[in-house]
Structure 1
Amino acid sequence: MYLEIKNANNFFKVKGTLNKKNVHLFENEFKSVLEMFNAITVSLEDLVNIDRHGIKAISRLQNEALSKNKRLSIIGAGNSNLYSHFKAAETAA
């Protein structure tokens, strides 16, 4: 399946599948975004599937936002694997 990332200013909509085969596209898209904006919103509503590589990429984006004192909001029902990962990290903290 494909990965499509659309944006309007600091709002990004991720659609399709985020996996090992296309995670580089996700990372390239967000490489300089945190330099341009103080806050970004990423919608995962249309993310159909995500593997561990995709989860790690989103986790790295979150860590980068924290280290640069930027605000990252992840919205949408999204994939249960992703939310389980962040819920476990939140519980461990």
Structure 2
Amino acid sequence: MNLEITQANNFFKVKGALHRRNVHVFTKEFQHVFERANAITVSIENLISIDRHGIKAIAQLNDEALSKNKRLSIIGSGPSSLYHHFKTV
């Protein structure tokens, strides 16, 4: 399944699979997001799978939010591997 990212204001929905072959789509979508917004919400409810490259991209987005003193909220019950990563960090 392909990756689809939709946006309404500062709310993003990520749908499909986030992996090595399409992580560039995710990275490009969020490239300058914290220059335009102080807070964003990313729903991963419809994210069906994620590999280590996808996890790294979300972790980098989180790191960027922290370094720029912005707020990133990740909501939804997406793949458990993503939650496992953030629980161990």
| TM-score > 0.5, shorter chain as reference | yes
Deviation (angstroms), 1:65: 0.4
What pairs with 1:53-72 in structure 2 (closer than 5 Å)? Answer: 53-72=53-72
Q: Which runs of 5+ in 1 are unaligned?
A: none
- What residue is the counterpart of 2:39 in the other structure? 39
TM-score relative to the length of structure 2: 0.99
**Which amino acid is the alignment partner of residue 34 of structure 1?**
F
Corresponding residue for residue 23 of structure 1: 23
1:81 equivalent to 2:81? Answer: yes
Per the TM alignment, residue 75 of structure 1 is displaced from its structure 2 partner at its CA by 0.2
Unaligned runs of 5+ in 2: none
Percent identity over the alignment? 67
SS in 1 for 2:27: helix
- In 1, Cα distance between the equivalents of 2:13 and 2:72? 13
TM-score by length of 1: 0.95
Paired residue secondary structure (1:56): helix
1:4 aligns with 2:4: yes
CA distance in 2, matches of 1:30, 1:38: 13
RMSD: 0.3
